[in-house]
Structure 1
């Protein structure tokens, strides 16, 4: 199948590019910088562009934001943030005119009480501009993947700073959160390329930093104590039964453990 992917060189998009390519699809990445992935095509693209796309499906993962920030990614320019991400995305969808899979976020749910189980039929009530933008774009996508935090190996991965602080003995704030491996997010895209419509939650682990950093200590021999355990009961977990009904099976704790050595190795301070 011919698949066009925006944002395929980003921290999350790279997993989608790899998964689609390994899945045997004919992939064209639309991005500002060429991908470091042999066997895929590349076309220059920035949000707001409307390139001619010869593809069966468009996977849209491009997102304009301040470096390293998603929630709060508007910085000091909320109007520009909205124009780039909402107007640019909808212009692309309408120009393409075919099946679209949009990388959304759990942020569209917003401020439900602690301990709420998040299912796709809950009314959306985003409490950040990031969540509002994602919700507006969802309205015109064929499929939206409401992804939780995405982890996985690679330069600049989401836990580099956390691991560096722990290994250096700096204080780490207790926290528990839901997570999904980038490869599992890619497998969700693969499961939805030709079927399904509407929103799908994508989440795997409810992960406490204490458990995560305890594993990092085992790998590195670090003697520093991990942070105290967080109150996991305050985390709003995501119900992924809708996606699992299509055969999606995330890697769970085993995938996390197998990924950690490479993730630790890339920490700059090691």
Structure 2
């Protein structure tokens, strides 16, 4: 394998994955609507728009497709977001897979979401647990459809598909991310405020771990569906306390505001034993937050 096609290569996860691919000696063809800045080495670019027909020629010379591009609506409660999410995330993924297959690509790895499980009792969710998001349905529903569409397509074509379901991804370089805002504030000696009682919870996974999951399944040729997380659900109140300790501050640097209105249910933790069987090891939250320190002063 010499060259991989990559969508979402200029996004948060994509930038980190691109660095890992180059380190592994792989060339990258970036697929996006506009040419990314700073192409290096043997990397190249081909125009690709997930809302329209896709020319199979953009995959010439590529051995695999890594599909990270996704539309996440700024307003998760706006019904108008449903059409865009389905068009880009579900239908666009299908068009992409079809074009890749017509070009002779036989390997596809795509990111969906580990937050699409029914979180009712917050117990560990295995890959076999039914999908049924009870919040953010316009986006998460489209990611479920993305999985279904590509699984159906793979059954009818000679295509090896891997679906990775990450939890709540965090890490240095995520512009506007809550944990980034918190770490920057704490490292500058300012306090942080946790809203709604800090009851929202999720399986927070370091971006480096998501990249490792992609590289691991790519290198091993592992097919099927894999959760990517830590196996632990953290409520924001606990995340804030951990962040403060990592930054060398105490509980007095945290203000927790009471909940207003219906609580955000958040998401369940992910059972990652299937990925662990391939050699995956998750980064603990405190260790992951420590990797962010150099970016905000240490």
- TM-score, scaled relative to structure 1: 0.82
Distance of 1:149 and 1:176 partners within structure 2 = 9
Task: Name the SS of the counterpart of 1:132 in structure 2.
Answer: helix
8 A Cα contact 1:102 1:143, kept in partner: yes
Greater per-residue helix proportion: 2
Q: Secondary structure at the match of 2:5?
A: strand
Residue number in structure 2 paired with 1:237: 269
Structure 1: how far apart are the matches of 2:206 and 2:291? Answer: 9
Mapped partners of 1:80, 1:171: distance in 2: 31
- The counterpart of 1:94, out of the listed 91, 94, 98, is 98
Change (3 A) 1:171 1:145: closer
User: Rg: which structure is higher?
Assistant: 2
Instruction: State the alpha-carbon separation in 2 of the partners of residues 206 and 168 from structure 1.
Output: 24
Structure 2 residue 139 is matched with structure 1 residue 130: yes
Equivalent of 1:203 in 229, 232, 237: 229
The SS at the match of 2:254 is: coil
Query: Which 10-residue stretch deviates more, 190-199 or 171-180?
Result: 171-180
2:87 is paired with a residue of what secondary structure? helix
SS in 1 for 2:112: strand
Counterpart of 1:65 in structure 2 is: 72
Moved more, 111-120 or 185-194: 111-120
The alpha-carbon deviation at position 26 of structure 1 amounts to: 1.6
- Asked if structure 1 preserves the Cα contact closer than 8 Å seen for 2:64 and 2:108, the reply is yes
For residues 128-152 of structure 1, give each alpha carbon's deviation from its aligned partner in whole angstroms, at most 9, with x where no partner exists. 1222211121131511001101111
In the aligned structure 1, how far is the partner of 2:176 from the partner of 2:283? 18
User: Could you tell me whether the CA contact under 8 Å between 1:20 and 1:186 is conserved in 2?
Assistant: no
Separation of aligned partners in 1, 2:25 and 2:204: 27
Quick check: 157-166 or 45-54, which moved more?
157-166
CA contact (8 A) 1:16 1:182 kept: no
Confirm whether residue 46 of structure 1 aligns to residue 37 of structure 2: no
Q: After the TM superposition, which of the residue ranges 96-105 and 20-29 deviates more from structure 2?
A: 20-29
CA displacement at 1:45 relative to structure 2: 2.5
CA change 1:236–1:16 in 2 (3 A) is same
Q: Quick one: distance in 2 between partners of 1:169 and 1:64?
A: 29
What CA distance in whole angstroms lies between the structure 1 residues aligned with 2:79 and 2:182? 23
Gaps of at least 5 residues in structure 1 are 229-233, 266-270
1:106 to 105, 108, 114: 114
CA drift of 1:190 comes to 0.9
Q: Which moved more, 1:57-66 or 1:209-218?
A: 209-218
The Cα offsets for residues 17-73 of structure 1, whole Å up to 9 and x where unpaired, read as 222222222222212340546333333322135242121110101112335x6xx28
Which secondary structure state, in structure 1, belongs to the residue aligned with residue 292 of structure 2? helix
Contact 2:66 2:108 (C-alpha < 8 Å) held by counterparts: yes
Match of residue 213 from structure 1: 240
Match of 2:211? 186
RMSD: 3.2
Gap regions ≥5 residues in structure 2: 152-160, 258-265
